[in-house]
Amino acid sequence: MEYLPENFILNLIGAPINPEYLEELKDYVQKKELKNVNFIGDVPYEKIPGLLEKTHVFVSASKMEVQSLVIIEALASGTPVIGLSNETVNEFVDDSVGFRLKKQTSPADFAENVKKICSLSQREYEILCNNAKRRVVHLNWPDIVKQTEKAYQKLIKMKEISNSTEEKGMDNKISDDKEVFKTQNLTGFRAFLNEKIKKPAGKIIKNKNITMFIMTVTGTFFLRISYCILSKTKRITDLK
């Protein structure tokens, strides 16, 4: 923010994991006399759409992010993203939806890229917004429900096969206390997801459709997919 004009405003939203780091940031802002940095703090999830609606560019200076939901949600709202290279940024962000910068990018260069997006014509900016929404459309609730159910069905079938091969001396046991692939669990999980679909979070930006994104379910889904891949060795090990 030291390299941006005063009419640029940075809103920092959320509760810090380490309160001491928040105080460090506040001290830095005060030391540099930055009048355009707001520490909004933790807010209810329902208010995030309104905050994103007022956001022109979403910035991320994190050098390590795995499946960052804030970046996914920003893209889903049609907000261009500028971020330093990390797992999530590398997967979702490129020049068609914003800028992916090297980890060693200086604050001055970061600021220049922010100004580039803010200097685009209305048409060019809208192209970025539309690209952003399309980039993560596959992560909406209906698609995740289908993919998750399909993964569970495969795992159920695999378990049935593993049970039938135990007599052949293969190590295919799954601990009873960690057996999560029973049919009744699948039914309950399907009901949970369907309930979520019936209660969408609403639109994040006017005329920009957005669906609520998977949180813990996404992690569960990709864990199950990894399990499916490993199962191709025809060995099902105890979950620990």
**Sequential pLDDT tens for the chain (240 residues):** 999 999 999 999 988 888 999 999 999 999 999 999 999 999 998 999 899 999 999 999 988 876 688 999 999 999 999 999 999 999 999 999 999 999 999 999 999 999 999 999 999 999 999 999 999 998 887 888 888 888 888 888 888 877 776 655 555 544 444 444 444 455 555 565 566 555 544 434 433 444 444 444 445 455 455 545 444 433 333 333
Dist CA 236 CA 175 (whole Å):
11
Flag whether 24 is in a domain: no
Q: Which of 78, 102, 137 is the last residue of a domain?
A: 137
> Per residue in 15-49, is it b (16+ CB within 10 Å) or e — as a string?
eeeeeeebeeeeeebeeeeeeebeeeeeeeeeebb
Do 127 and 158 lie in one domain? The reply is: no
Q: How many domains does the chain have?
A: 2
Q: What is the pTM of this model?
A: 0.63
Residue 72's domain comprises: 44-137
CA atoms within 13 A on the CB side of 223: 8
Beta strands in the chain (DSSP E): 10-13, 37-41, 58-60, 81-84, 98-101
